Amino acid sequence: MKTFIANMASELKTLRRELHKIPESGLKEYKTTDFIEKTLASYGVTDVKRVLETGVVARIKGQDKKPTVAFRADIDALSVEEPEKEYASTHKGMMHACGHDGHTTILLGFAKYLMSLEEPPLGDVVLIFQPAEEGPGGAELLVKAGVLEEYGITKIIGCHMFPDVEQGKIACKSGALMARNGEVYIKIYGKSAHGAQPQLGADAIVAAGAVIGAVQSILARNVSPLDSGVLTLGKISGGEACNIIAKEVAIDGTMRAFSDEAYEIMTKRLEEVVSSVAAAYGCVGEVEFNHMYRVVMNDKELVDILEDVAGDCYQESPAYMLAEDFSFYQQEIPGIFFFVGTRNEDLGFVCPLHNAGFDFDENVLCLAVEIYAGMLEQM
């Protein structure tokens, strides 16, 4: 196994760089999907189906001796302008700044490995090339489209290139690995008046300031100290002129938690606090939420298998307040999501995800394919 995968190193590097040149936004990954289908066809994979127009599901038939297992890669990119380099994006303003080109390459390499086996795997293996992880959440769309039921998928595995972890290491943990997240949109409605006659108006800016202060108490006083959460208000806008009492203020933020209970408490208290505090200043406060991804909750049995397969490469990961729509699969079936370390200070691969400088040494791709192959053997 290791020899075959190691011999793919040059091919995987080429595949990744070709994908890197054609980054596309969620549900618009047409060139990427064409590339995936052509590559799978060249490996002899014939059971291939388009989903959501720009996603691909490929099945490699097994011996029906074990249940069906799925492996997932996300394929979309980000609206980031990439600096010039040999294999830079050819799509202006778009970049694979989150490693999805690597994830796609890993799954393609895994497909080639599976097709090279003298005997097919013991059970069916389904390869999911998923669109729109960065938004609006392609995993949820695929689940709703019935992909898990259609293919009889019982377990699912995914990974992510990760610059917080040293190259050559695989990081994971049982239970909550990544947070549930949502977007918060607060509106404060007041009444405008002349700035010299504030008593005739209801100042939305003053009310907004009070709301911002009051919201900070939610994590401190309403969520258990044993639970973790984040409530960040990152944008504020309002007012018309320096001498006018503001009639409207908008405040946008993000909220994250490692449990549904904590997340729901934060949601409920946000509505209550914003409404009541704004009212105390003669204003109306409203909150809208965009509830996004759920908690990435790793199955312990699968984590034990990963640890055994990775051996000395394995390290326990902390939980991260980052979010991933892989969690929607885990709402339905047992799954595991792990990090593939890419940090390499000697080669200068130290930039964080979603940064224009993010990149990695393609040698890590072979390690990830090996992990996939090893896990399949033990499942």
pLDDT the model gives residue 199:
97
C-alpha 96: how far from chain center: 13
pLDDT the model gives residue 186:
98
Domain containing residue 78: CATH number: 3.40.630.10
Residues sharing a CB contact under 8 Å with residue 17, sequence separation 6 or more, in sequence order = 86, 87, 362
- Residue 81 CA to residue 278 CA, distance in Å, equals 40
Q: Are residues 350 and 368 in the same domain?
A: yes
Q: Are residues 169 and 191 in the same domain?
A: no
pLDDT the model gives residue 348:
98
pLDDT the model gives residue 191:
98
- Residue 373 CA to residue 181 CA, distance in Å, equals 32
Q: Are residues 170 and 282 in the same domain?
A: no
Tokens of 134: 């960065």
Which residues on neighbouring strands pair with residue 34, listed in sequence order? none
Q: Are residues 190 and 283 in the same domain?
A: yes
**To which residue do tokens 């390869």 refer?**
127
Domain boundary among 291, 312, 346: 291
pLDDT the model gives residue 175:
98
Query: What is the H or E stretch that residue 231 is in?
Result: strand 229-238
Domain boundary among 224, 256, 291: 291
Tokens of 182: 């949502």
Q: Are residues 184 and 172 in the same domain?
A: no
Mean pLDDT over 110-132 rounds to 98
Q: Are residues 172 and 191 in the same domain?
A: no
Q: Give the pTM.
A: 0.95
Could you give the C-alpha distances from 192 to 195, 196, 249, 252, in angstroms and in order? 9, 12, 12, 22
Among the listed residues 327, 328, 353, the one whose alpha carbon sits nearest the alpha carbon of residue 340: 353
Q: How confident is the model over 292-302, as pLDDT tens digits?
A: 999 999 999 99
Q: How confident is the model over 183-203, as pLDDT tens digits?
A: 999 999 999 999 999 999 999
Domain containing residue 208: CATH number: 3.30.70.360
* Average pLDDT score over the chain: 98
Q: Which DSSP letter does residue 349 get?
A: B
C-alpha 33: how far from chain center: 19
Query: One-letter amino acid identity for 82?
Result: E
Q: Are residues 333 and 373 in the same domain?
A: yes
Q: Are residues 72 and 159 in the same domain?
A: yes
pLDDT the model gives residue 96:
98
3-state helix, strand, coil in the chain (%, to 5): 35, 30, 35
Q: Residue 249: which pLDDT band, with cuts at 50, 70 and 90?
A: very high
The tally of domains found in the chain comes to 2
Mean pLDDT over 130-155 rounds to 97
- Residue 312 CA to residue 238 CA, distance in Å, equals 54
Domain boundary among 291, 309, 325: 291
Q: Are residues 7 and 60 in the same domain?
A: yes
Q: How confident is the model over 312-345, as pLDDT tens digits?
A: 999 999 999 999 999 999 999 999 999 999 999 9
Q: Which DSSP letter does residue 16 get?
A: H
How many CB atoms are located within 10 Å of the residue 81 CB? 11
How many CB atoms are located within 10 Å of the residue 92 CB? 8
Q: How confident is the model over 273-293, as pLDDT tens digits?
A: 999 999 999 999 999 999 999
Tokens of 128: 């999911």
Q: Are residues 158 and 252 in the same domain?
A: no
Mean pLDDT over 207-229 rounds to 96
- Residue 340 CA to residue 163 CA, distance in Å, equals 8
Q: Are residues 127 and 275 in the same domain?
A: no
Q: How confident is the model over 29-73, as pLDDT tens digits?
A: 999 999 999 999 999 999 999 999 999 999 999 999 999 999 999
Query: One-letter amino acid identity for 19?
Result: L
> Interior CA angle at 38 toward 33 and 42, to 5°?
145
Q: Are 80 and 95 in contact (CB under 8 A)?
A: yes
Which residues are catalytic, by number? 74, 134
Question: What domain range includes position 50?
Answer: 2-177+295-378
Q: Are residues 161 and 210 in the same domain?
A: no
